[in-house]
């Protein structure tokens, strides 16, 4: 028993050393033949089997034959044993891959995603990397769009959109430099908007703009970010922080992407937000004018309303209000105040001698 353990350890060290010295020559792949079963083809280690390798091979052969016969439950059980007992063998990524395919066939979306996740986590340099990320993207999209996962591949469950959002976040972590990363962020934002998690949607769009400024989706992210901020605006009587954020992003979109087909929609959105902000300034000016007789403060807010949207109808009303403010200020000035001030003789300077 002791010598057997030493021998396995020795072979493990040799294999690891060869993996670093001859990485190109160690590459091997599994080939399935219905008559002979799985075989390892290519690579310097294709002939190194041992007892554990033979046991793993037996399980893999049985699982694949069960799969081909349509006995999916037995096949999944066999592949699961390979992963659990021989997690470092060459058969493990294939077992996980086959499991993911079978789970997808049974519409067990979460289990399929997790099986693919296991391959990426253990074998990040797998030649199937792009294929796996693509499959995970499709699974997350299906869940986000309301697909129902099946329990045990038989009983349909409820839609689970939050799970789809979570899976997109995993894709973002797995492949931050792939073409799927910007798509994942846009879908995260879309999912949060469906669930009315507006702040989370804004966060996803903000990450999209900051992390992938050169993406083809960046223009869409700017516009959606502006529209999402605009959706938080409750009108001129309320806090205008969201209005100002929306204005900023509408303007940024129009400056950065002047030829975008959605430029007219952005211009309309910008006009709406500037109108609301100008109306808010008008409400403040009216308050100080009519309720407090504070002509100085009223002038400030009416002028700001004009500055916010000079060509609008609101600006026209603000100009009329300014004229009323000047008239009211003159009417409330005490008669003869200026004359009295001018007619008062100047006080003589007094000098003190000590």
pLDDT the model gives residue 348: 54
Q: How far apart are CA 125 and CA 193, in angstroms?
A: 35
User: What pLDDT is stored for residue 41 in this prediction?
Assistant: 79
Query: Is residue 45 predicted with pLDDT exceeding 80?
Result: no
pLDDT band at 11; cut points 50, 70, 90: very low
Q: How many CB atoms lie within 10 A of CB 350?
A: 5
Higher pLDDT, 130 or 53: 130
Residue 350 confidence (pLDDT) above 90? no
pLDDT of 46 above 70:
no
Please indicate whether residue 49 or residue 160 has the higher confidence score (pLDDT): 160
User: Which of 74-78, 235-239, 334-338 bottoms out in mean pLDDT, i.e. has the lowest?
Assistant: 334-338
Q: What pLDDT is recorded for position 331?
A: 87
* Helix/strand/coil (H/E/C) assignment for every residue in 117-181: HHHHHHCCCCCCHHHHHHHHHHHHHHHHCCCCCEECCCEECCCCHHHHHHHHHHHHHHCCCCCHH
When pLDDT is averaged across residues 26-45 and rounded to a whole number, the result is 75
Q: Give the integer Cα–Cα distance in Å for 354 and 351.
A: 10
pLDDT value for 340: 43
State the DSSP code for 290.
I
The residue ranking higher by pLDDT, 167 or 20, is 167
Q: End-to-end alpha-carbon separation of the chain, Å? A: 116
- Using one digit for the tens of pLDDT, what is the confidence trace for 154-177? 999 999 999 999 999 999 999 999
Q: Cα(242)–Cα(213) distance, rounded to whole angstroms?
A: 23
- pLDDT (tens digit, 9 = 90+) per residue, 264-293? 999 999 999 999 999 999 999 999 999 999
Cα angle 310-245-252, degrees, rounded to a multiple of 5 = 75
Q: What is the pLDDT of residue 52?
A: 74
Q: What is the residue extent of each domain of the chain?
A: 28-105, 129-207
CB within 8 Å of 50: residues ≥ 6 apart: 8, 11
HSE of 235, CA atoms in CB hemisphere, 13 A: 2
**Residue the block writes with tokens 């995993």:** 170
Name the average pLDDT for the chain: 87
pTM: 0.81
Residue 44 has a pLDDT of: 46
pLDDT at 29: 80
User: If you compute the radius of gyration of the chain from its CA atoms, what whole number of angstroms results?
Assistant: 36
């Amino acid at each position: 028993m002791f010598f057997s353990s030493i021998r396995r350890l020795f072979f493990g060290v040799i294999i690891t050393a060869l993996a670093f010295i001859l990485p190109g020559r160690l590459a091997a792949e599994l080939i399935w033949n219905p008559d002979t079963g799985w075989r390892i083809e290519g690579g310097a280690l294709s002939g190194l089997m041992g007892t554990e390798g033979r046991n793993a091979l037996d399980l893999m052969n049985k699982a694949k034959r069960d799969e081909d016969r349509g006995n999916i439950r037995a096949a999944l059980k066999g592949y699961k044993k390979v992963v659990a007992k021989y997690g470092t063998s060459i058969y493990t990524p294939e077992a996980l891959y086959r499991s993911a395919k079978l789970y997808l066939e049974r519409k067990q979306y979460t289990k399929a995603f997790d099986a693919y996740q296991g391959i990426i986590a253990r074998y990040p340099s797998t030649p199937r990397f792009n294929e796996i990320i693509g499959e995970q993207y499709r699974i997350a999209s299906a869940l986000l769009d309301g697909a129902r996962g099946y329990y045990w591949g038989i009983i349909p469950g409820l839609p689970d959109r939050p799970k789809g959002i979570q899976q997109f976040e995993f894709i973002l972590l797995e492949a931050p430099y792939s073409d799927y990363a910007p798509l994942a962020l846009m879908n995260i934002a879309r999912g949060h908007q469906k669930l009315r998690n507006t702040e989370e949607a804004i966060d996803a769009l903000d990450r999209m703009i900051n992390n992938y400024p050169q993406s083809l989706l960046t223009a869409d992210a700017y516009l959606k970010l502006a529209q999402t901020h605009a959706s938080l605006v409750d009108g001129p009587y309320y806090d205008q922080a969201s209005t100002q954020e929306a204005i900023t992003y509408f303007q940024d979109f129009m400056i950065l992407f002047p030829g975008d087909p959605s430029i007219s929609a952005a211009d309309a959105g910008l006009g709406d937000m500037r109108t609301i902000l100008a109306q808010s300034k008008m409400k403040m000016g009216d308050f100080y004018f009519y309720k407090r007789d504070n002509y100085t403060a009223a002038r400030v807010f009416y002028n700001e309303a004009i500055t916010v949207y000079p060509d609008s109808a609101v600006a026209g009303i603000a100009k009329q209000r300014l004229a009323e403010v000047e008239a009211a200020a003159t009417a409330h000035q005490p008669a003869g105040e200026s004359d009295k001030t001018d007619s008062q003789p100047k006080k003589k300077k007094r000098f003190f001698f000590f």
